[in-house]
Amino acid sequence: MKKTLYLMRHGQTLFNVQKKIQGWCDSPLTELGKQQAITAKKYFEDHHIIFDHAYCSTSERCSDTLEIITGMPYIRLKGLKEMFYGELEGESERLNCQTPEECITYYLQFGGESSNDVRDRMKKTLIDVMKKEDHQSVLVVSHSGACFNFLRAWQDPMEELKKGFGNCCIFVYEYDNHKFTLKEVIRQEN
């Protein structure tokens, strides 16, 4: 039986504006970030999309985004967290690696994670969520890097990356038999 996963990135944060590396460290949503979450909520309402379950990363920026979108109970899962950037957490984004290939192992030298680790934990976490019998339409709020690495578990992500993974973009996946197929990406105009 096919199910639908709505995987989305959190709203804009203070560190996004300040161009700081934000993995496991956290910063609050900006006013624009809150508005982006309201826009996502309106999208779901306008398209009559009802969720039977909701999940998010343990980061406050994700739970705040989710709470704006829906008042339903939700579960926070560590497996949905952003990549851990080690000693680069909170530092300037100019210290980031420049290509997805470079990112596979770049952060290990700073005590962080490999992007393959992020891909594997996102894949495991979301399969565990979606294989539950009563999970037909699920909303999950996570992070840009986590969403990118999850996408690359199922397809070449470069075409979608070129279009951008802006704040509160929504990846719509079909789930069937432990596999995810990307159906569309809803991006906000900012």
Which residues are CB-contacts of 31 (< 8 A; sequence separation ≥ 6)?
none
- 113/77 Cα distance (integer angstroms): 17
Tell me if residue 53 is catalytic. Answer: no
Q: How far apart are CA 48 and CA 39, in angstroms?
A: 14
Active-site pick, 10, 53, 89, 113: 10
From 53, 82, 143, 160, active-site residue: 82
Provide the token pair at 15: 């560190």
Burial class of residue 38, CB neighbours in 10 A (0-12, 13-18, 19+)? middle
- Structure letter (DSSP) for residue 139: E
**What residue type is 182 in one-letter code?**
L
The residues, ordered by sequence, that sit 6+ positions from 165 with a Cβ below 8 Å of its Cβ are 9, 144, 147, 148
Residue 14 in tokens: 């203070």
Active-site residue 82, yes or no? Answer: yes
Max CA separation in the chain (angstroms): 46
Q: How many CB atoms lie within 10 A of CB 109?
A: 10
Active site residues: 10, 82
